[in-house]
Amino acid sequence: MAKLYFHYATMNAGKTTMLLQASHNYRERGMHTMLFVAGHYRKASDRGYISSRIGLEADAEMFREGDDLFDRIAEHHRSRTTHCVFVDESQFLLEEQVWQLARVTDRLDIPVMCYGLRTDFQGSLFTGSRALLALADELREVRTICRCGRKATMVVRITPDGKVAREGDQVAIGKEAYVSLCRKHWEEEMGRVRAEDFIGFAAR
Ligand SMILES: [Zn+2]
């Protein structure tokens, strides 16, 4: 039985590299894969592709709000048997689109591997991630670490002038950078708590 997978992490954890490697493993065995990437922040005329920081790249179809992913995959599958579907930037899926992907696994028996961010820079779930956490058969955390060595589960947005953004749109299109942190250091960087206020609370 095919399954719907959600591989989630913070920024810079190597999710895209994992996706491209997994797709390559299918193709190496002569199987066909279909790749999707979010088209929300790309021009309609742009070529769709997925690229990772270590230089791997593959062509991909773009998904946008309003696309019925079940229909698109089913139509493609009719002309060319598809063995696995990969979705990068799956945090941008709508809830309905996650249901469409669930139907791809349930009705077409094709595994669907989604990769994406769990939370935004303010610590809230993305729409697609919320639905995937609810509906996926398998949840897999892609681990990366904070500067302190703890697991990084949160991300801060650094503005072009080097400050930590505390407000703003969920997605910024510009020269922002992102840093992955553990929850403790994220709260400090976001200005929600001050480390010095907790001195003396720990048991000796
Ligand atoms: Zn930390």
At 154 the pLDDT is 95
Residue-averaged pLDDT of the chain:
93
Q: How would residue 204 be classed by pLDDT, with cut points 50, 70 and 90?
A: low
Residue numbers belonging to the annotated binding site for ATP: 9-16, 88-91
- Inform me whether the pLDDT recorded for 73 exceeds 90: yes
Q: How would residue 54 be classed by pLDDT, with cut points 50, 70 and 90?
A: confident
Q: How far apart are CA 154 and CA 78, in angstroms?
A: 41
Residues catalogued as catalytic: 89
Question: Could you give the C-alpha distances from 117 to 30, 121, 123, 124, 155, in angstroms and in order?
Answer: 30, 10, 11, 11, 10
pTM of the model: 0.93
Q: Which residues contact 91 (CB under 8 A, 6 or more apart)?
A: 116, 117, 118, 126, 127, 128, 129
CA of 75 to the centre of ligand 1 (A): 46
For residue range 148-178, list pLDDT tens digits in order. 999 999 999 999 999 999 998 888 877 788 9
Residue numbers belonging to the annotated binding site: 9-16, 88-91, 146, 148, 171-174, 178, 182, 185
- Inform me whether the pLDDT recorded for 11 exceeds 80: yes
Residue numbers belonging to the annotated binding site for Zn(2+): 146, 148, 182, 185
**100 contacts 65 by C-beta, under 8 angstroms:** no
Using a 10 angstrom Cβ sphere, with 0-12 exposed, 13-18 middle and 19 or more buried, the burial of residue 190 is middle
Q: Which residues contact 203 (CB under 8 A, 6 or more apart)?
A: none
Half-sphere exposure at residue 155, Cβ-oriented, CA atoms within 13 angstroms = 26
CA of 139 to the centre of ligand 1 (A): 23
CA of 157 to the centre of ligand 1 (A): 16
CA of 188 to the centre of ligand 1 (A): 10
Tell me the CATH number for domain 4-143: 3.40.50.300
For residue range 25-37, list pLDDT tens digits in order. 999 999 999 999 9
CA of 100 to the centre of ligand 1 (A): 37
